[in-house]
Structure 1
Amino acid sequence: MQYECAWVLTNLLSGRQEKFDLLARGGLCQPLVKLLDAGASADRTREQACWALANIVGECAEWRDQTLVCGLLPALTSLLDSRPSSGVLDATSLLLVNLFRDHEPRVSFEVAKTLVPYLMQLMDHPHRSLVPHLLWAMSYLIEDSEPRASLLLREDVLHHLRRCLTSGDDNELIPALRVFGNFASSMTLLPNCVLADNLLAKMRPLLDHSDAKVRLQVLFFTSIASDGPDTFLDQIADAGFLPRVGQILLEADEREKREAFWIVPNFVITRGNKFKNLVVENCLEGFLETLTLSDTELTHCVLLSVRELLISAARRKSEDSGQSFESLRKQIEHCGGLKKIELVQNLADNDLAQMSRQIIDDFFVHNGALYETNSAAGLDEGANPGSEPAADVGEVGAEAAGETANEAINQATNEGTNETTNEG
């Protein structure tokens, strides 16, 4: 009878909002939570209760928190400790996704801290159909939260994620890439350990994947990684990303172009000549093509980057008799870039029009004469000023801003314990 009731409630709780509110306000959370303690002999009932609770928790933060008030957390951990059947685990994995889903306010840090070890245990479970849900739960868990991202890294999640990249199962691949992307976007400094084990070399073939969602996730991660220290750029370049990025900027749809775009200025602005040269060799035509997207922010960034490339080449005239500068000017003209820069002068944005005119005047009329200075005279172009080695999370002896990496993570994790249930 309990199973049948839970089954009916599961269906009713997946209906319209009005019906959901009526049922949930009728005091259903407490008895459903109690069903999780029914014991292994009642696995069908426990499974159905999990499905019903997953629907409640996934509806909104209010009902999620109500289930927690009714004792969901201890009931859930007790269930997971009881070695439940694969059917119960399937339902539990969806419940975990919905607990961490991006409702505001987010589930408390203490709840996350309690459940993360269980996520890791389930990743090792032979029932592989659990993995996609577990990965989505992780992606929601760490989104925009450095303490939670550090918490997950402490549980050695990376070897699970790397395994998913080569599993051949897109249901695992896409959320695994999303977790990597959320690590990159959530952390002030992406730890070296995230890129360890040739991660970027494993990601590069995925830019040729037939599913655009996979390509977009790879580009998202790489664009953030490219904003890191020079060592990250070396790994991106060595993995062969730049020729493919140049191709994407020329041939892909607008969404992929926009995701790939930011990799290029990250190789140019404040970087040394070797990175600028890689852009000129691999991405210049595609990068200039983005001037046709009619986007003020992208156009501004393109003009800044092109100006930086031209200044760098002009400064090297004394070293190579102007060969780099003349070659770059011809390349820009040959691929139609100069015409695109000229067209920017017609835009209503006066700042962009002025930037365009200045580039043309300084480098295509006066041949960069203003910048023909010796780099040793205070105009030297070196590494990115922010290019200090990145922190290695979890590796003994690594340092991050004067602390060991583990200390840095512990600090971030301890900060997380100060988060309230309203942490966003």
Structure 2
Amino acid sequence: MDTNNLPAVAGDLAGRHIVLGLSGGIACYKSAELCRLLIKQGATVQVVMTEAAEQFITAVTMQALSLRTVYGSQWDAREPNNMPHINLSREADAILIAPCSADFAARLAQGRSDELLSLLCLARPIDQVPLLIAPAMNREMWAHPATQRNLAQLQADGAVLLGVGSGLQACGETGDGRMLEPAQLLDDLIAFFAPKPLAGQHVLVTAGPTYEAIDPVRGITNLSSGKMGFAIARAAVEAGAQVTLVAGPVGLPTPRGVKRVDVKSAQNMLAAVMHAASAATVFIAAAAVADWRPANPAEQKIKKDGSGRPPELQFVENTDILATVAQSARAQSGALFCVGFAAESQNLLANAQAKRARKDVPLLVGNIGPATFGQDDNALLLVDAQGAQELPRASKRSLAQALVAQIAARLHVEPPRSRASNAERAA
């Protein structure tokens, strides 16, 4: 199928051309989904398979998913110059081997090149076409000194090792060595290509609601889903930062590369934040923290007494986490850059400006809470000492990336160029 006239697809990998290499292993079944995800994010994918890989999945399947003819032989006569190892490697923005078996890792480490996939890895312009490795093998093979020695050699030679998962393996054993899931590999590839304006920074993010107990089965919370804070944590990792995410009670998966600390109440969140803030350089308070909590939570469930009147509750004010961190010595000295969030229901600009001044933070991000809680999109208002800037409604993913770029600029970190695509290099 001719892919030259296909419509352009927007996504985090738009304009990227990936050579997806499959070596022999049962994890080849995951490569089909990985191929689909790469294309969904805008990449073009050229599949190259070893003879062993074709024992686990057919070239027909991968051709149907990639919309390109699959290559498997170094003697493929379809190439006018009969040099697929040269042509395929020169066209790529990256080569991703997924799965990479123990045998194939050994071949790469030794520089062997008697079949197409290892040959094009060896023939690639090493300073222009990165090689990413997603190992997949039995737990004993993974732990074997020879395998670890080969993988260390590949890293020393410039390859990027994406790591492995742990769990039940096809052989029936349990342990390390599983290939990462397709969505995890996609996230790793997106992060690899992203600019790194926050390299060297340690970003602390809070996300989600808090839950303030009334009794063992009831409590006070809010409608925050945590999606915005989690998107910020992911964007910060992709921007090169070390990220700690303090999350209230939400059911969201942890972004790749993020250290997550789960908490429940505002007091729990305060303790976790103060512990982590001593090492952070950026604090982004995206959580919707309860302002009040019941003064005396009941030890047992409060029962109806037949009077028709609810129990009388007394409340105490929770410590303001953002204000506490912003007033710390590290924040006041400029060693910790603080970003607050304001979820309002009306008068967004005025309320956000007042909150920024009251809490003494350099940047305050405002949004209309009822219009965004639980949604996948949002609209933000950035307020600082110079004024306000609107970020129009978009996906929380896109807004998180824009916010991280704004923070990086305010930290006076000049973002390096992202890895140029082959098309950009050619231009």
Query: Which structure shows the bigger proportion of residues in strand conformation?
Result: 2
Same fold, TM-score > 0.5, yes or no? no
> TM-score, normalised to structure 1's length?
0.26
> TM-score, normalised to structure 2's length?
0.26
Query: Which structure shows the bigger proportion of residues in helix conformation?
Result: 1
